[in-house]
Each structure stands twice: as C-alpha cells, then as structure tokens.
Structure 1
Amino acid sequence: MPDFCAAYGCSNRRSLKTRARGITFHLTLLCSEHFRSEDFDRTGQNVRLKEGVVPNIFNFPAHLQRLVATGNTTTSRRAEDNLPMDLSQDVPKPDVGATGDRSLSLKWQATDHLYALPACPKAIKAKLEESSAQLRKLQREKSNALRRENRAKMNMQALLEELKEKNLINKELKDNLECYSDLPVHLLSRQGVEYTKAQRDFALTLHLHGPKAYHYLRDTLHIHLPHPSSLQRYSSLALQTIFS
C-alpha cells in the first residue's frame, strides 16, 4: 500500500492522524477521500475498493478544470438521456475466474488510474525521458516523410509546371518538352556520369529556346544539367554527324 496520496493537491499521508480520520490508502495510489462512500467494500476485515470504481473527487485549480458545454437542444437532451448512469460499465474488467482470484483484480485496479503521479522523482524523470524519446522519434518520422514528399515532387513534369508558372517558358516550349517528362531528375544530379542522349537533347532544347529557364534549373534549383560549354560540344558533334 502507498504511504501517501498521489492526487493533485492532496497532502494525506499514512499516519495515526489520518487513520483516526478514517482515511485509507489503496493500490490506485490514491487515498479514500477521492472516492464516494459507496465505492468501498467494508464487508471484510480491510476496507477495499469495489471493482471498476472511478475516483471523481479532486481539488483541481480553476485553470486545470475542464469546461463542460451544456445545451438545451433536443439533440443534446436526447444524447444526454442515452448516456449510461454508471460510466464504469464501459470499463472492461478482467476475468478472475470461478476461484475469484483477487490478486489479479487488485493488479488491474492498480494500473487502471494512469493519471496519478508516479510515486518517486526517479519514476517521473523516467517517464519524462520516455516521452522525450517518443517525441524525437515522431519528429524524425515527420522529417523523413517531408523529404520523401519533396523527392516525389521533384520530377521533370513538376519542373516543367514550375517553369511555366514562373513564366520562364511559354506553353509552346512546355509542350515541346513534354516528351522528356519521364526523365528521372535524380539521375541528373549524379556528377561524373555520362549523360544519356535524352538528357542531352532535353538540355540542348531548353538552353536554346529557354535560356532563363535553363539557368534557373541549373543555378537556383541546382539540377545537374550540362555546362553551356558541354552543350556547345554536343551541338558541334551533332552538326558533324549531319554533314558527314
């Protein structure tokens, strides 16, 4: 049994004084002052909590109290009438079997009220560290999801749409470049890898008809397009092939 009550603002401790006042302490880490009189089983030698009872007597300050909205509409009254009188009916109870295994029942009661503060500062610190680790994990997952989303958006079709929205290419040029919309943009960032014919043709067409768009992709978005000097070399080779 606990030696003090873990409820907010409660200073009751196990002592002769509290015993004289009839205050009892229970495995829920709370004292008897947070339960109703009908919540107790006083038939045995010791005062015990009945199964499934919920503490509902607390002395929270105003800023921690939850406001409950009230309404007089027909819908709200009907919903209110349909609520069970005893909310503990919705709480699943363990099956203690025909032998009435009371130790299992008490264990369930001890873990039921998770809002009670841990019994020692070390437990509070451990709970805080656990919550912080969970928060860091969620932040990493969010960051990874954003990176995956950005990679999904970074395709040639999305680049062409962005160039059109920024008026860096006209509709005619955009339509002419549509045939390259399936080019994997991430391959363009692999420095030292020889460009494919489709990549060279895309870069030549864009640089010839939309030089501002070409430099925007290369200098601002850092898409690894061929250098203008390389484009001149590609053009020279193409002309030599035509006239040879």
Structure 2
Amino acid sequence: MRGITFHKFPKEKELRRQWEFAVRREHFSASDYSVLCSEHFKLDDFDRTGQIARIRDGAKPTVFIFQRLGVSLGYKELREHPYAMPASPTGLKTRLSEALARVESLERDRRNTKVRERRAKKTVHGLLEDLRGKNLINEELKERLDFYSGKIKL
C-alpha cells in the first residue's frame, strides 16, 4: 500500500521491550527481522528530512486498533491491515469483490467527470464567442483569450 513504511524493532533492549509491550501480543518476543508498519506511529514520530522516513530516536508505537475499540485483540486481528492478505480464501474473494466494485465506481466517476469537463469547456467556448460577437472585449484581452482558448480542446 502506498505511503506505508516498515520499521525494525530497536536493538536497544529497553526500547525494544517497550515496543513489544505496546504490540500487546501474548508471549511475543521480536526477532531481528520483526517489523512494525508506519500505521502504528504518530506523524511526529518520524524524521522525514532525508529520502527515507525514519523513526525518531526513542519513539514508541502508540497507534493500534485495539485502543480505539477499547478491547485487547489477539495476533490474528492485529494483522488486519489494509495491505495484509486475509487468512481465508473466502475473505480474499470478499476483498477482491470489494476492490472490483470500488474500481467500477471510480471508473464511473471518472467518466462523469470527463463529461462535466467537456460541458464546461463548451460553455466557456460559447461565452468567449458571445463576447467576441458583441465586441465586449478589448483587443489585448481578445488576443489573450484567443491564445488561451486555443488550449481548450472540444
């Protein structure tokens, strides 16, 4: 998913323990390869001065779904990120159907937007012609409008 970054658990023991505790998984111990996604950190926890988003020294993950729900969730539920694959084929099929419906809706919106854009361009073109026909624009403005109206494709 776009904009999500992944960050390794810190090597420093105390901070690593705090990250592990924040995750709230029973008997969880992070390995050298364990990561958390950027969704679990506040915006000001990041140093974005370089080309790579880095977690600031001492920052801890504080954003979790279970905090909003007011309940403690297990490992499976914590993996329910937008970029995570559903555990079952039925869940995957549901996600695919939802995604296809969303694509169809966006394509319909795009077509409707293009129709509105063409309609607006025709209206502007008609107004320019009307102004020219009634001689309501001076020569300089007429030249500018001619220049820019050439950019309007009907």
> Would you tell me which structure has more strand in proportion to its own residues?
2
- Higher RCO structure, 1 or 2 (CA under 8 Å, sep 6+): 2
Q: Compare CA radii of gyration and give the structure with the larger one.
A: 1
User: What range describes the TM-score normalised by the shorter chain of this pair?
Assistant: 0.3 to 0.5
Q: TM-score by structure 2 length?
A: 0.44
